[in-house]
Amino acid sequence: MLKIALVGVGTVGAAVADILRENKSVITARAGKEIRVVKGIVKNPNRKRDGVDFPLSADYKEATDDPQIDAVVELMGGVEHAYEVVKAALKNKKAVVTANKALLAYRRYELEELANGVPFMYEASVAGGIPIVRALRDGLGANHIESIRGVINGTCNYMLTRMFEKRVSFDRALKEAQELGYAEADPTFDVGGFDAAHKLLILASLAYGIDAKPEDMLIEGIGHLTDEDIAFAEEFGYTIKSLAIAKKRGDKVSLRVHPSFVSRKDMIAKVDGVMNGVSMIGDMSGETFYYGAGAGGRATASSAVADLIAIARGETSPMLGFRRANERQLSVARKDEIESKYYIRVLVEDVAGVLAQTAAILASRDISIETVLQRKKRVKKEWANLLLSTHKAREVDLIAALKEIGALAFVKSPPVMLRIES
């Protein structure tokens, strides 16, 4: 029998216990032994909880230091306290399963050292019920990974889908996502792109062995999108997705999370609502695509239980996919090295010369315009939004051009740009 302790018995923790009960026979058959929850660690052990048939305690040491426990499942979230708990478990040679993406985003290489052969698994930390960690670490193990593009924040994706399909406002869409239980306790974590950034860093370690922190990445949220952006995207055959992107070029890997225009024909454009989708291109496999529920208790717990099965079977894959000291020669590309096609929105006074001067500034920096659209402001008729898309350009040039355009007398607010993923 594999005896486990759940540290955190919230939505996911309770679902782990449920799954182990409901699917006991198939899980035992696959694991080769029964997996049983023997203890739960919670803040308030006296609170009545449905379906909890194991003893509760408020002291995590009752999990990490109890000799009868084989594996600790960390589901409490946060970085520092979770690190303390996981460290104590590893020190006592207990296998660890976690769904904690923030912990891994900041401390995964330290944890890898601490684990030093003790199983440490984290399938549930990225894209909930999609077995993406195993797909990347094992299934694509023969490949150099050329790129990863993921819709890996269900909250943003739900909101963008609602904003496109029903034209609901950003605030309304966020409220709905919160009511449906998709959003993190602090929703800026979702809408600001940080949740997706943490998940991308985990995938980037598996794909590239790259040791980066959220601070090394370009992270932009979806809070600045407007109706005009959505209408432009629709008119030109795009949708807008918050994408987490890792792309290898030579010995550099660009890591970023930002809203992107995506062609409606692209598989990733079809990932709607709270669902997650990840496209990965391997140099041998070509593109592979993964789709499924990225949030929710049962889907996330399904991945945590898969890890427990692997532990029960005695699996000892390297935690981050690489034996230490291999493949670390790749480095993170600087934020100003990005090249892309761009969409630009400029709020202008609708007078002679506006388009000509804007186009001249872009041309002076060798940025070629692909399409142009002008939309009058409904409430202030003498103003208009000038909407442009460009061919591929260097981001440094585009930012400099936008700064110059923003300083023109007829421009009413700082220009906004979004990247077009192609």
Active site residues: 199
> Which of residues 28, 155, 303, 358 is near ligand HSE by CB under 6 A?
155
Rounded distance between C-alpha atoms, residue 127 and residue 359, angstroms:
41
Check residue 123 for interaction with ligand HSE (CB under 6 A): no
> With binding defined as CB under 6 A, does residue 183 bind ligand HSE?
yes
Per residue, the 3-state secondary structure of 6-74, as one string, reads EECCCHHHHHHHHHHHHCHHHHHHHHCCCEEEEEEECCCCCCCCCCCCCCEECCCHHHHCCCCCCEEEE
CB of 101 or CB of 137, closer to ligand HSE: 101
Q: Can residue 228 be called a binding residue for ligand HSE (CB under 6 A)?
A: no
In this structure, how many other beta carbons lie within 10 angstroms of the beta carbon of residue 419? 22
Q: Which two tokens stand for residue 280?
A: 């990965």
Residue 272 binding ligand HSE, by CB under 6 A:
no
Q: Which of 70, 74, 123, 190 binds ligand HSE (CB under 6 A)?
A: 190
d(Cα 6, Cα 3) in Å, to the nearest integer? Answer: 10
Binding of ligand HSE at residue 295 (CB under 6 A)?
Answer: yes
Q: How far is the CB of 8 from ligand HSE (least distance, A)?
A: 14
Q: For the CB of residue 199, give the shortest distance to ligand HSE in the complex, in Å.
A: 7
Subset of 303-362 contacting ligand HSE (CB under 6 A): none
Stretch that binds ligand HSE, among 48-56, 160-168, 181-189, 217-225 (CB under 6 A): 181-189
Q: Maximum CA pair distance of the chain?
A: 79
Token output for 78? 């946060």
Of 15-23, 150-158, 312-320, 329-337: span binding ligand HSE (CB under 6 A)? 150-158
From the CB of 156, what's the least distance to ligand HSE, in Å? 7
Q: What would the two tokens of residue 153 be? A: 């924040």
Using CB under 6 A as the binding rule, whether residue 153 contacts ligand HSE is answered as yes
- Cβ pair 64, 96 in contact under 8 A: no
Q: Scanning residues 389 to 418, which ones bind ligand HSE (CB under 6 A)?
A: none
Q: Work out whether 194 is an interface residue with ligand HSE (CB under 6 A).
A: no
CA–CA separation, 157 vs 284, rounded Å?
30
What values do phi and psi take at 97, rounded to 5? -125, 135
Burial class (CB in 10 A: 0-12, 13-18, 19+), 71: buried
Q: Minimum CB separation from ligand HSE for residue 155, in Å? A: 3
Check residue 184 for interaction with ligand HSE (CB under 6 A): yes
* Closest approach of ligand HSE to the CB of residue 191, in Å: 10
Site residues for ligand HSE, window 230-259 (CB under 6 A)? none
Q: Output the smallest distance, CB 323 to ligand HSE, in A.
A: 29
User: Smallest distance from the beta carbon of 130 to ligand HSE, in angstroms?
Assistant: 11
Q: Is position 161 an interface residue for ligand HSE (rule: CB under 6 A)?
A: no
Total residues binding ligand HSE (CB under 6 A): 11
> Which residues face 282 on adjacent strands?
145, 286
Nearer to ligand HSE among residue 39 and residue 199 (C-beta): 199
Side-chain half-sphere exposure of 301, counting CA atoms within 13 A: 20
- For 84, 111, 153, 419, the CA distances from 108, given in Å and listed in that order, are 13, 5, 20, 30
**Which stretches of the chain bind ligand HSE, using CB under 6 A?**
128, 153-155, 182-184, 190, 195, 294-295
